[in-house]
A and B are shown apart, each in its own frame.
Chain A
Amino acid sequence: MRGGAGFDELIHPATRLSIVALLAAADWADFAFIRDELTLSDSALSKQLSTLEEAGYVVIDRPLSDRRRRVRARLTPLGRKRFTAHVAALRGIIESSDATLV
């Protein structure tokens, strides 16, 4: 950990932060939806989701619907908890900076 309580090194890199922020507002999101919204390549998104899945932050489901195999991602309770803490840490940094200025 680089510093402030709740700051999460795994979530913070820009691409992973975008993925987790999107999943935090959803029950689940399709692989294709995340890829298109964040304009990522299939391989880049797969890599980031694998990292998040290995950390236990994300679960990948593969429901069968319309005779097509879909890939859906959703945040785990742990992932949601770490994301909430990370956002609180970011807010804390801004607040402490504002307090220093005042």
Chain B
Amino acid sequence: MTNPLSDAEARVALHEVERGRERVIDQIGMPAWYWWGLAGCWIALGVLNDVANAWVIAVATVAFGAVHSAVSQRLLAGRQRSGGVRVRADVVGRRAPLVVFGFLVALAGVTVAAAFAVYADGAEHPATIASVFVAALILLGGPRVMAAIRQRARRAEPR
């Protein structure tokens, strides 16, 4: 059977196929407002920890968890940065939601550790200072985490 295309034509077509996949991979990410909102809420919780009573802190923490859970589920771990396209889960990679979740857990750990360190140093508002530090990490690190997920998706073999 003769080939329907020359080798060169097939390569051009495959290049276009790969380009289509990359166009979608470029859309993997969280919207900027998510990182800014998360950083803002982190600072607000830090401030509350320093100034409010235990009930207010508990209610605010539960409310934050509920709102964040609803928002992050809708964002589908980077699959829908814009309203224009939803990236397939197998293109983003099965581990992507775990990576984002792990990043958030690590941030919580860093917040607690930083607050203890600041408290031990004798500062007056340890949770506020720690949360401002972690908010900066969110704004700097969040987009980098998503860039790493995009990079990994580019390297993955298409299914």
Residues of A bordering B, CB below 8 Å:
1-4, 7, 12, 14, 17-22, 24-30, 32-33, 37, 65, 87, 89-91, 93-94, 96-98
Quick check: is B3 within 8 A (CB to CB) of the other chain?
yes
Whether B84 pairs with A29 at a CB distance below 8 angstroms is yes
Contact A93 B10 (CB under 8 A): yes
B16 and A21 within 8 A (CB): yes
Known: A25-B158, A32-B84. 5 other contacts (CB 8 A): A17-B13, A17-B16, A21-B16, A22-B21, A25-B87
Q: How many residues of B contact A (CB 8 A)?
A: 30
Instruction: Tell me if A2 and B4 are in contact (CB < 8 A).
Output: yes
Q: What total of A-B pairs shows CB separation below 8 Å? A: 99
Q: How far is the CB of A98 from chain B (nearest CB, A)?
A: 8
A contact face: mostly helix, strand, loop, or mixed: helix
- Residues in A with CB closer than 8 Å to B54 are none
**CB of A18 to closest CB in B, whole Å:** 6
Task: Name, among A4, A18, A93, the residue most crowded by chain B CB atoms within 10 Å (CB to CB).
Answer: A93
In angstroms, how far is the closest chain B Cβ from the Cβ of A29? 4
Q: What's the minimum C-beta distance from A87 to chain B, rounded to whole angstroms?
A: 6
Check B24 against A22 for contact (C-beta < 8 Å).
Answer: yes
Task: Check B20–A3 contact: CB distance below 8 A.
Answer: no
- Judge whether B21 and A21 touch: CB under 8 Å: yes
Chain B residues packing against A (C-beta within 8 Å): 1-7, 10-11, 13-14, 16-21, 23-25, 79, 82-88, 91, 158
B4-A94 in contact (CB<8A)? no
- A26 and B5: CB pair below 8 A? no
Closest to A96 in B: B3
A26 touches B87 (CB 8 A): yes
| CB-contact partner of A93 in B7, B21, B87, under 8 A | B7
A2 vs B13: C-alpha distance when bound (angstroms): 15
Q: Contact check: which of B5, B11, B23 meets A37 at CB < 8 Å?
A: B23
> How far does the Cβ of B82 sit from chain A's closest Cβ, in whole Å?
7
Report Cα–Cα, A98/B16, bound state, in Å.
20
